[in-house]
Structures are given as structure tokens and as C-alpha cells.
């Protein structure tokens, strides 16, 4: 099938990928636009995971005030260059993250931020819940790890389901932006204020 310039442009507008990448993805997908988007996303996410170790010393601080001034959030989102920090995609991601913090009230930015004593306390609680279940120890440990996954989904920002699209995590939103912009991006820290405390 012939790949038309209009089809390449349509894919480029939809994904933000380069012309040559769009053309190659369309050729690989046999001209199917949806399959080409999937191919580009897979490639982009693979590249995004390679970028995750790179230093993020630039970025922006974003804010969000909600509910008539009753809830306020400050978020520091970092990237590799000032150029990327000024892009619309980066700024939109910063707004999304701030909105997420306001709505879902996470406790930690990433799993590594959860103190070891908190994790051990949670594990002890889950083990105690299973104590009289009669299940073998290896099964109990698997259940404990599963419950710990639920703890992360509730308390860790990047593991939380996006408030706009519950099928996508905040971490996946960040990875998609990394894939699009070609730089590592990370939430450095955040703070959430609520009038009267929480």
C-alpha cells in the first residue's frame, strides 16, 4: 500500500513524532493509522525507559488552587533542559500532576520515597490479617506483596490512576511525555495544603 503524505501528516499531528518515524511506522503497519500509533507509542515508551536514568536538573514549579481556595498544591516537575520545561506538553503535564495531587492526595512522589519502616509496618499489618487463614507462608507472602501494590496505588503519585483516565497511571502519563519530548522527566516533590489541615 502506498503511504501518502497526507496520512503521514495525520499521524504526525496525532503523535508529535518525526516525519520519517511516522512514515516507517505506517509502512510497518501496512497503512493502518491505529496500528501505526501503537507502533510509535511502543517505540517511544521503550526509548522513555532508556532515558529514566538521566539527570533532571531543570524544570518548573507549578501550582493549583481548588475549591474556592480551600486546597492548594505546589509541584516541582524536573526535566533535562530549560527548552523542554518551556514546552506546552511539559507545562500541561505539570498542570495534570498538580491537579492529581489536589484531587487524590498522594503521600509520596515515587515508590523509593516510601520509608522502609512504613513498608514494614504495612507488611506486618497484612501478615497479621492472614495469620489464621491456614494458607502456607509462600502464599501469604504473595498476598502481602499484592496488598502492598494496592498501598502504592493509593499513596504513591506515579502509581495512582489518573483522575482523568482511570485506565492510565500518572507514571504512564509521565512516560508518554518523556517519549514525546525525548527527555527524562520526574516529579521531584510536591506539597498539598488544605485549609484546616487534613
Q: Which fold has domain 115-154?
A: GTP Cyclohydrolase I; Chain A, domain 1 (1.10.286)
Q: How far apart are CA 118 and CA 33, in angstroms?
A: 46
Give the containing element (helix H, strand E) for 194.
Answer: strand 186-194
- List, for residues 158-183, the tens digit of each pLDDT value: 999 999 999 999 999 998 898 888 88
Q: Outline where 54-136 has alpha helix (H).
A: 82-85, 88-104, 116-130
Residue spans of the domains in the chain: they are 5-51, 58-110+156-194, 115-154
Predicted TM-score (pTM) above 0.75: no
Around Cβ 112, how many Cβ atoms within 10 Å?
A: 7
50 band by pLDDT with thresholds 50, 70 and 90:
low
**Residue 123's closest CA among 144, 96, 98?**
144
What is the pLDDT at residue 16? 64
pLDDT at residue 63, rounded to an integer: 94
- Quickly count: other Cβ atoms within 10 Å of residue 77's Cβ: 26
Give the angle subtended at the CA of 20 by the CAs of 84 and 40, to the nearest 5°: 70
What's the sign of the alpha-carbon dihedral 7, 87, 105, 50? Answer: positive
**Residue 162 DSSP label:** P
Band (pLDDT 50/70/90 cuts) for residue 28 is confident
Looking at the structure, give the CATH architecture of the domain made up of residues 58-110+156-194. Answer: 2-Layer Sandwich (3.30)
Binned at pLDDT 50, 70 and 90, residue 44 comes out as: low
Check pLDDT > 80 for residue 135.
Answer: yes
pLDDT score, position 132: 78
Q: Would you tell me which CATH number, out of the four given (1.10.8.10, 1.10.10.10, 3.40.50.1000, 1.10.287.130), belongs to the domain 5-51?
A: 1.10.8.10
Amino acid at each position: 500500500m502506498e503511504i501518502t503524505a497526507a496520512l503521514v501528516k495525520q499521524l504526525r499531528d496525532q503523535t508529535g513524532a518525526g516525519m520519517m518515524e511516522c512514515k516507517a511506522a505506517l509502512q510497518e503497519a501496512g497503512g493502518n493509522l491505529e496500528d501505526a500509533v501503537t507502533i510509535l507509542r511502543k517505540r517511544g515508551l521503550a526509548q522513555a525507559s532508556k532515558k529514566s536514568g538521566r539527570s533532571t536538573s531543570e524544570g518548573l514549579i507549578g501550582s493549583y488552587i481548588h475549591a474556592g481556595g480551600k486546597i492548594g498544591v505546589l509541584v516541582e516537575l524536573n526535566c533535562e533542559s530549560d527548552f523542554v520545561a518551556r514546552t506546552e506538553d511539559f507545562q500541561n503535564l505539570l498542570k495534570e500532576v498538580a491537579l492529581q495531587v489536589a484531587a487524590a492526595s498522594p503521600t509520596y512522589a515515587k515508590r523509593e520515597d516510601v520509608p522502609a519502616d512504613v513498608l514494614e509496618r504495612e507488611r506486618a499489618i497484612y501478615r497479621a490479617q492472614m495469620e489464621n487463614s491456614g494458607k502456607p507462608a509462600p502464599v501469604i507472602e504473595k498476598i502481602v506483596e499484592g496488598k502492598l501494590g494496592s498501598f502504592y496505588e493509593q499513596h504513591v503519585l506515579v502509581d495512582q490512576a489518573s483522575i482523568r483516565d482511570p485506565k492510565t497511571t500518572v507514571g504512564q502519563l509521565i512516560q508518554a511525555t518523556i517519549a514525546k519530548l525525548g527527555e527524562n522527566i520526574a516529579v521531584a516533590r510536591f506539597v498539598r495544603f488544605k485549609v484546616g489541615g487534613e
